[in-house]
Structures are given as structure tokens and as C-alpha cells.
Structure 1
Amino acid sequence: MVLNVGPQHPSTHGVLRLELITDGEIVKEVIPHLGYLHRCFEKHAESLTYQQTIPFTDRMDYLASMNNSHVWVMGVERMLGIDKDIPKRVEYIRVLVCELNRIASHLIAIGTYGIDIGAFTPFLWCFRDREHIMGLLEWASGSRMLYNYIWIGGLYYDLPVGFEERCREFIEYFKPKMVELNQLLTENQVFIDRTANVGILPMDLAINYGCSGPMLRGSGLKWDLRRIDNYSAYPELDFDVPVGKGEMGTVGDCWDRYKVRVDEIAESVKIVEQCLDRLQKELKRTPDFDPRAKLPRKITPKAQDYYMRGEGSKGELGFYFIADGKSEVPFRAKSRGPSFNNLSVLPEIAKGVMIADLIAIIGSIDFVLGEVDR
């Protein structure tokens, strides 16, 4: 029998259509159909200036918009040769807001994954805690989801007065909440039975399909671009890279991918605390601090091809620029969305599973369709 899952099915996490070829309850083949949420990002990027494109990067992975604009901006800064001139305070604020956004994105991944499998309370808890982060980021940028906050050469605004103190209050509130969430969901035997030894993704298959982020680390490979490429302020920060260890089943199963995201939230909390310490003790705000760089009116990089990548909440987010040296509009801008590669491995790891297990596998991938279709 041929079954359709989506494009409006809640378990597909967006407008994705999966065509299933089944034999009773067993899935013989999965054929994803894309294109229901095409953002036209690359065409927009080739029609607008580098600065004007930043709001469109926000709309790709709209659950972690800060990370998208951070990578785009770093690519333009390196092409212009001004990446070494970015003030330290700006770099630490960028990392701070990106890690807060990463926590918010992972909370959605964990909460919606619980509800896919039938656990309703963790979903409400995750959205309750994410709301605090949305409030903080809205205070800093004026927007809850699509921020346009990280600009070429700096930031749109400095952090509001009192932001660091409020952020620290949130961290102190949030730490015990994650302990509660782990007791309720991570150590729940029903949840473990539904996710352990399901959707096993071997490391070599993950590498061959170009998987990245928690998908790749869940398969046991310690690969995090914040450590590998050492961009922005990350080389000066202390944090670990969690990987799947097969604690409840097999390395690379759904439970491992889920657990990597839970552990990454704890690491992001450590990074946020270190950024707050630096911002409050060494990189204090001064009356003469201007978060906006004095850039020329027209941002025109030299003629070159350049690829910039960074660790988004879903994995390796990259932008490939072709600049002609004459125009402030890129000749070509190609985006590499991690969700696309992560989703592409679904037909391989979903062969021969039950339909109910397919839903568990889809949720463990944590993709955003705005980034898949771009």
C-alpha cells in the first residue's frame, strides 16, 4: 500500500510529504517530496546587497536565526578582510545570543520529539522555558524569532542595560528545570523503549550522506565546527562536544541523537555563563562603544570565491559566495542547509521499520523545512 505522511501531518515538523510504500505495518520504502516551503533564499541573495540579505538568512532555520546571520556575516567580513577588527565585546555578544538561540532550538527539538512519541508534559515544559529565551532575545533585538541583530562589522544594537543580570537569572532558573526534564523524559523507560535501537545511523553512512550536527555526533563522531574551525570567540571558551555512546542501545540510534541535544543544552549553558562573566568583568559597556562598524556606504568585496561555514543548531550551515569585485550584490550565493543533508539519509535508516518507529526516526532528525527547501 502507498501511504502519504504529510504535507500537513504534525509528525513531519513542517510541510514535508513522505510517500511510504508499506507491507502491512512495515515500511519498505520512504520517498521524501520537498518544495512545499521554498524560501527562494539564493535568488533573494543575488538580488540584494550583502547587508540587505541578513533578514532572509533568518527565515531559513527560523528556530535558530541568530546562528544563520552569524555565519553569513562572518563570511562577508572575511571577504572584506575586516574579521580581525571586530571588537571583542561584539564577538562575545554574538556568541551569547547564538548559544541562547541554540538552547531554544534544542528545546523545541526535545519537546516536539516527546509529543511525537506520546509524552505531552515535556512539550509544555520545553515551550515554557523557551519563552524566557524568546523574551531575552526580543529585548535585545526587538523581535522574537527573526532578529536581524547581527550585522556586518558588528551588531544592530548593544545589549540593553541589565540584560546580563536578567540572563544570569534565567540560567539559574533553567538548570534545575533541565534536571526535571531528564527525570521525566530521558530516563523514562517507555521513552527509552521507543527510541533505543531504532533508526540506527552508522558513522560511515552519516559521513557519506554529509550529515552534521547532532545527527553526526549522535553516531559517535566528535565533529563540531566551533572546535574544528575555531571561529568567533569560541577558541577562548571552555566546552565539551557530546557524542552518542550507545548507553541505552546502539550508537547512532534515536535515543543517542536525542541525548546529544540534551547534553548540548548543558554545554551551551556553560558557554553563556562564560560570555556573561567576560561581558560583566572585562568587556564592560563604555559610553563610547559603538556596536556598528564604520563601513563604506557600498560593501564591495574583491573578486573571489569564498565558502564560510559554522555550527548551526542542526549542523554545518555554509554559504558559498562568488563576488565579482564590482557590485555590492553577490554574483552568486549558494546555501548549504544542514537539514537537507540530514533528511536525505531518512530513506536509508527507515527501511524495514514499523510505521510508528518511522515517526520516532523523523522526530530524531530535527529538521526545519525552511532550511531544507531554502
Structure 2
Amino acid sequence: MFEITKRRLLAAASIAAIVFAVPSTMAQDSGEGAGGQEPVKAGFVYVGPVGDFGWTYAHDQARQCMVEELGDSVETTFVENVAEGPDAERVIRQLAQDGADIVFTTSFGFGNPTVKVAQQFPDVKFEHATGFNPGGDNMALYNAKFYQGRAVLGTIAGMMSDSGKAGYIASFPIPEVVMGINAFQLAAQKQDPEFTTQVVWVNSWYDPAKEADAANALLSQGADVITQHTDSPAPLQAAEKAGAIAFGQASDMTSFAPNAHMTAIIDEWCPYYTKRVQAVMDGTWEPGNVWLGMEDGEVVMSPFNDAMPDDVKAAAQKVYDDTKAGNYEVFTGPIRDQSGEIRVPEGETMTEEELLKMDWYVEGVQS
């Protein structure tokens, strides 16, 4: 068991470079969007590079998708490789000063800087991904239930692992990451009661070298399944070389490890971004706090690898289908923590509020 400290949350300031991107979609020559109106200006702040093929890549693909949907009614700017800390506040403020109508800040550690800048620019809309601080009347929160996808991955791992041991490469000990580890372990444990998950914290969202080192260390300790809550394909490539199985993060990473990659959780942010920017255009935008999942089409799975046995595919698909239909919840008791204490009694299901504060491991997680 552990505590989540502010210092550890801010440790993601490992990438110092700040890159300002040219707006991806420009207004018409007249400077006007559809119907003669000025285009809505939307800014995006990314914690990693758009080429990470993981978290930031998924957000930027959604930004481009939103531009395709809304056309010249929107003009976007993004800033990548923004460290969680003072740099974030500076970048967010600069976007507001440069005339953004709405700013999306896409990492947990951007929360407090977003709140602070939102208070200074009451006429600008701000939206923070994966946060918990609602801010004021001009700030909204949005999140996705990634843990639902982790349950699909865990089901596959529990059925396909020969060693009964998975390695989990984790970024920072925040509830979003912890609940994903626990969901993975609980689902795997349903298939193999002796299954264990060994966690290695790399204290970075994106660091290919650290991620590869962590994967290799876990493989050398007997793991034959590698999963991750970090954003580069390096762990997958390590698994591919070792003949293990693995899972992509936030996007389909099959091309990096065609034999190891069983499936991936895909983050579908485009509908949300399109809806929220359209609301700014219509004058109907309101603050809110949403946590969307498979049932909303925001969390989906990439195609299953053909190498997966048919019974594994069927079991994984059933978890996905039942979750989407509201008939499966991985955090239903009985659930014990690492010490063996019952945390969730039989038949009870953890609430969203409890999940969003999760700071303990389930039985079978090793850290």
C-alpha cells in the first residue's frame, strides 16, 4: 500500500523540450469559418510527443479527426512534450493569451496549472483530461474508463500465460494507473487463481529506454506477459524479441510487434472533442465532469491477434461485450488487498468515487 504524493505526481517533468506546432487547420482566406463566422480556436497541450504511438498520439489523432469533422469552422494549435509543472502553466497561459477559445490539457499533472490559468481567463473554456479538480464555471473534466480495457487484457493474459506471471510497466502511482493494474490482475486471476502481476514504476509517461529496461528486467524474472501504462512501443518490442505476449497502449501497436501484440486499448477521443468544440461554436458549452467507457464508444479494443486461440478470443470478446452492455464490472467483490483483507464484500461493486481514489493493490499484485 502506498500514498500518492504531489512530488511524485510532478515527477513527470522528464521531457523539457517545448514544441509549438503550426495550426493544423487554418481559417479561410477571409479569416472566417463557415457561415462567415470566425473559426473557433482550440488549443491542445500534450505531455509527450505526437509520435509516441501511445497516449499523445491518440489525442492528436482525435484532434485531426475533429478537424475533419468540423472543417474550417475550427482552427487548432497543439504543444507537445510539455512537462507537468511550471512549463505546463506557462504553455496553457500562452494559448489563452494567443486567443484560444477552448484549451484541452491532456495529462493528469496539468490539473492544477489548468485551474490556475482558467481563473485568470474567465472568457476562455478549459478542459482537463483525467483530473479531479473541477475548477470554476469555465472548466470541465473528461476521462475514459481505461480500466475496462485492462480487464480484457487481463483475461487474455490469464489464459495464455504459461508462467502465470505478468510484468506491468507503470508510469506514476495515481488512481488512474493503480485501478488499471488492479483491473488487469483481477481479470487474470479469474482465469488463473495463482496469477501474479509484478509492477515496475518508471516515473515517466514516455521514456523508451526506461520502458525497454523495465520490460527486459521483468522478462528475465520469469514474466511471459508484458503490459504497460506508458506510451512507447519499446516494451512490446522487448516482448517480441523474447517470444512473450504483450499489449499496446492507447493505440494499435501491432506494426511494432506483430507476433507479441495480442490487442490494445484504443482511446477514441474524437467524438468528445468534436462535441465540445461544436458546443463552443453553438454557444451551448457548459462545464461538466464525464467519465466515459466502452458503453459510450470511448474505450475500444484493437483487433485480436490471429495467434490467439479461439477460446481466448471468445472469453476476451465476452468481457468486452458484457462490459459494453453493462453486465460486467471487474471491481465486483469479493476483492482482497495485498494483505488479504477484504476490501469489497461479495456481491458489492466499487463506486466510481471509490475507483477514482484508489491507492491500494489487489491480492496478487507485487511491487
What TM-score, normalized by structure 2, do the two folds share? 0.24
Higher relative contact order (CA 8 A, sep 6+): 1
Tell me which protein shows more helix as a share of its residues: 1
Tell me which protein shows more strand as a share of its residues: 2
